[in-house]
C-alpha cells in the first residue's frame, strides 16, 4: 500500500486579504470533499484572534490523489489567491505514524463547535519505542471509546525526534472529557519522562471536511 500524505501548513495572511482567502479556501475544501475520493481530510483553522495565523492540515490517500487535487480548478483558484495573500508559509511534510478517524463524513464551515488541538512534541531519541507504544495505545482507546473524539492523526519528523498530533473533537466538552479519562492520564504518566519539550495549540475551525470512510492506519 502506498504511504498516505500527511501535511501541515502554517500560513500568515494579510488582513486585507483575509475575507477572500477564507472564501476561496472554503470553496477549495468543500469541492475537494465532493469530487476527490483520495482527499481524505482537510482542516482549515486559525490560532490567533484576528485569524491571520492560519493552520491547514491535509491528508491524502497517496501521492496520486494529491496530484488530482493539485491539478483541480478549485485548487488552482486557491493557489492563485495564495500567491498574493500568503506572506509567511511553512510546510511540514510528516511521516504518518498512526492515522485514526471515526466513520462518517465531516462537512463544517462557518460557525461551529469543533475543538481542534495541534501538539508538537520532541521525544528523547532513546525513548522513542516506549513513547510510540504508549501514545498508540492511548489514541486507539480514545477513538474507540469516546464518542466525541472524531479524529486523531500522528506524524513525525524522524530526523528531529519530533512528533505532531492533530486532534479533532466534537466540541470543547468532548476535549475536556478526554483529558479526564484513565487512558489519557495513564499516557501522561508514562510519557512525561520521555518528552524533551511539548507545545499545545488550540485551533479555531474555519472549514473542515473529511470523507465518510473510517481510517485506522498504522504506518511502520
5-218 is classed CATH 3.30.70.100: yes
Q: Can you give the pLDDT at residue 27? A: 97
DSSP state string for 5-59: EEEEEEEEE-GGGHHHHHHHHHHHHHHHHHH-TTEEEEEEEE-SSSS-EEEEEEE
Residue numbers in the chain where pLDDT is lower than 50: none
**What local confidence, expressed as pLDDT, does residue 1 receive?**
65
Q: Which three cell numbers stand for residue 112?
A: 461551529
Write the CB contacts of 214 (distance below 8 Å, at least 6 apart in sequence).
101, 102, 103
From residue 116, how far is each of 46, 74, 106, 201 by CA, in Å?
10, 25, 14, 9
Please list, residue by residue across 94-127, b when 16 or more beta carbons sit within 10 angstroms of its beta carbon and e when fewer do.
bebbbbbbbeeebebbeeeebbbbbebbebeeeb
pTM: 0.97
SS3 state of residue 169: strand
**Where do the structural domains in the chain lie, given as residue ranges?**
5-218
pLDDT of amino acid 21: 96
**Dihedrals phi, psi of 217, to nearest 5 degrees:** -135, 115
pLDDT tens readout for residues 54-95: 999 999 999 999 999 999 999 999 999 999 999 999 999 999
Amino acid at each position: 500500500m502506498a504511504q498516505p500524505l500527511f501535511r501541515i501548513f502554517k500560513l500568515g495572511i494579510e488582513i486585507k486579504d483575509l475575507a477572500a482567502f477564507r472564501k476561496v479556501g472554503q470553496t477549495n475544501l468543500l469541492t475537494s470533499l465532493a469530487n476527490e475520493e483520495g482527499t481524505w481530510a482537510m482542516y482549515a483553522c486559525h490560532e490567533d484572534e484576528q485569524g491571520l495565523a492560519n493552520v491547514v492540515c491535509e491528508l491524502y490517500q497517496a501521492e496520486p490523489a494529491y496530484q488530482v487535487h493539485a491539478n483541480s480548478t478549485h485548487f488552482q483558484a486557491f493557489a492563485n489567491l495564495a500567491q498574493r495573500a500568503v506572506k509567511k508559509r511553512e510546510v511540514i511534510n510528516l511521516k504518518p505514524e498512526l492515522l485514526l478517524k471515526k466513520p462518517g463524513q465531516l462537512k463544517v464551515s462557518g460557525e461551529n463547535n469543533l475543538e481542534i488541538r495541534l501538539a508538537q512534541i520532541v521525544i528523547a531519541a532513546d525513548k522513542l519505542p516506549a513513547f510510540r507504544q504508549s501514545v498508540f495505545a492511548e489514541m486507539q482507546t480514545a477513538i474507540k471509546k469516546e464518542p466525541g473524539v472524531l479524529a486523531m492523526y500522528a506524524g513525525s519528523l524522524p530526523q528531529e525526534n519530533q512528533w505532531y498530533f492533530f486532534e479533532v473533537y466534537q466540541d470543547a466538552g468532548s476535549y475536556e472529557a478526554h483529558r479526564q479519562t484513565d487512558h489519557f492520564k495513564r499516557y501522561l504518566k508514562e510519557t512525561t519522562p520521555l518528552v524533551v519539550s511539548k507545545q499545545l495549540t488550540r485551533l479555531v475551525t474555519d472549514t473542515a471536511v473529511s470523507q465518510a470512510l473510517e481510517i485506522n492506519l498504522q504506518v511502520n
